[in-house]
Structure 1
Amino acid sequence: MGGVGEENKSRAPDHVVATTETKNKTKQNLSLSLSLSLWSLEPLQIISTPSHLFFTRSFSSLSLSLPSLAPTRMAEATEYLKLFVAETSWYNEIVLGSIVPGEAWRRLPHFFQSWLRNYLGGTLVYLLSGFLWCLVIYYWKRNVYVPKDAIPTNHAMYLQIMVAMKAMPWYSALPSISEYMIESGWTRSFATIGEVGWPMYFVYLAVYLVLVEFGIYWMHRELHDIKPLYKWLHATHHIYNKQNTLSPFAGLAFHPLDGILQAVPHVLALFIVPCHFTTHVAALFCEAVWTANIHDCIHGKVWPVMGAGYHTIHHTTYRHNYGHYTVWMDWMFGTLRDPEEDDHPKKS
């Protein structure tokens, strides 16, 4: 009797036990919900190895006892996201540590460190690539690639640089925001190629680039077709409508919102297809070089690349060659105009 009495005293009332169990289940389900939202469309199956955590999205994980795994999965997901933060912190250290004097930048929040790095890095890439490009095609190889009467004046190039420099702080916000979303687990990005293997990496990269090409084509086309967007945004870029007003520096000479809108497909694609984080960062910075390339008025004749020969026609007709990397979207949607077949495009 004494033993039973002591057992009853030590045992919590049934309603307290039920309440505690309910709270625990709620906490576990909340953790599970956070974990699943963190990794977007599909639940994660985590495979632990001595040196890595490999995350694979698999519907087979639905058969697991997810509530009991939620706390562990949440902790491991948090550790995984730290890989992205560590990578961007490394980029910040390399760029800001080399350019910014002193240690003041280290006191900035991580997001603003990344913005400052993107701003300074983007500015350097734009200016260095532009100056080197112009040095080669206008001076070193003068009259070889570009006829003398098609070379823009120094004043025209200066004005293009000024437009781009005013927009650069705003441009830098987009990669900073995309990095923040990746670090927060809102996208389908992965940290290392080893998680998916080289074959799937190239499959994902191909799908990513197709989505970006499709998105930029239609964004660019709508910036022409929707009159207020053209008038208030895109017309800033289209004042350069002759060969002697186009230069590599015109590549980023946009209204800030125009430039951001045309780069948004890079970010939207992250929610659709798994993308290697480093590759995404590199793709955004390569835009500065690519836009310089398609504004130098040199027809490279490399099919199916949307080179400067095609893009120069876009600047003179306003109704053709909206594509970015390739001619495929213009071919599919009937807006392609080939410079080989049209040596003297007329404004339509």
Structure 2
Amino acid sequence: MIWYLAELLGFIKVDRSKNMEEYVNHPSYAGNFIRFGMDGIVGEYLSTVCQTFLFALALYFTLSCSSYYYFFKKNKLLYLPKLNAKFYIFYDIKWSLINMFFETFLVSIIRVAQPRFSLMYYNISDYGYWYIPISIILHIMYDETLTYWVHRWLHTYPYLYIKLHRIHHFSKDITPFSGFAFHPLDAFAQAVPMFTSCFIFPIHMNLFLFFGLCTTSWAM
């Protein structure tokens, strides 16, 4: 918020038209993925939804299947000799698919808004190399603190736990397939801090994507 105040007072200037141009030229841009014949921001949003969902789907099954094979099949006697989680796997996959499908629509709203309203930047020279470690610390503090409190509230208030968070804790013997097994609103609430850090302070696009990939992979 300090940056927005500084921008409002004229101490700094954020060139959002330049950011939009950089965003469109960035490899992660999803606006032209599948537009369904729609122009403008609606087409960009639908395209972003498709790209986000397919990427999440590929990442989920790649990481979960490879981890499951290594720990539960190839080296089960070494790591998990007494674990029998077959009953919960189908439950976890079902809720993971439900979560990814519906959460994608919410996450894509933020993704479309980022180049238009956030403080994300694309050239290191905009803030210099010295700011990179500062932005890393800021992102970790912001993301971890808010995610902790969201998670704590989901456990503290019975209504939230029963209606949302209990789905994630249903599986007694967890597997890599459990990583995305959330109610979509639960998952989105815990993901909001990670996706919104760029609205609070400047962060480089590639660093932002790196954090997103690490956070998602860690869940597996």
Please report the TM-score for the alignment, with normalisation by the length of structure 1: 0.56
Task: Give the RMSD, CA atoms, in angstroms.
Answer: 2.5
| 2: CA distance, partners of 1:105 / 1:271 | 26
Q: Which residue of 1 aligns with 2:194?
A: 266
1:142 to 70, 76, 93: 76
8 Å CA contact 1:138, 1:151 repeated in 2: no
Aligned residue in 2 for 1:163: 95
Q: Which runs of 4+ in 1 moved over 4 A?
A: 88-93
Counterpart of 2:50 in structure 1: which amino acid? L
Which digits, 9 at most, give the CA deviation of each residue in 1:115-150, with x for residues without a partner?
11000000110011000000111112222122x212
Candidates 124, 141, 144, aligned match of 1:213: 144
- Alignment partner, residue 37 of structure 2: 107
Report the counterpart of residue 132 of structure 2 in structure 1.
201
Unaligned runs of 5+ in 2: none
CA contact (8 A) 1:216 1:263 kept: yes
Q: How many pairs align?
A: 214
Q: 2:19 aligns with which of 73, 80, 86?
A: 80
Identity score, percent: 23
Conserved in 1, the CA contact under 8 Å of 2:154 and 2:165?
yes
Structure 1 unaligned residues grouped into runs of 5+: 1-38, 45-56, 62-72, 97-103, 293-348
> Alpha-carbon deviation of 1:289?
1.4
Aligned residue for 2:211, secondary structure, equals helix
The residue type equivalent to 1:160 in the other structure is D
Superposed counterparts of 1:1-348, under 5 Å: 40-43=4-7, 59=11, 77-87=16-26, 90=29, 96=33, 105=35, 107-108=37-38, 109-146=43-80, 148-153=81-86, 155-184=87-116, 186-240=117-171, 242=172, 245-292=173-220
Task: State TM-score, norm by structure 2.
Answer: 0.86
Which structure is higher in RCO with an 8 Å CA cutoff and minimum separation 6?
2
Greater strand fraction, Structure 1 or Structure 2 = 1
Aligned position for 1:343: none
The secondary structure found in structure 2 opposite 1:133 is helix
Structure with the higher fraction of residues in helix conformation: 2
Q: Indicate if the aligned counterparts of 2:154 and 2:161 stay in contact, CA closer than 8 A.
A: yes
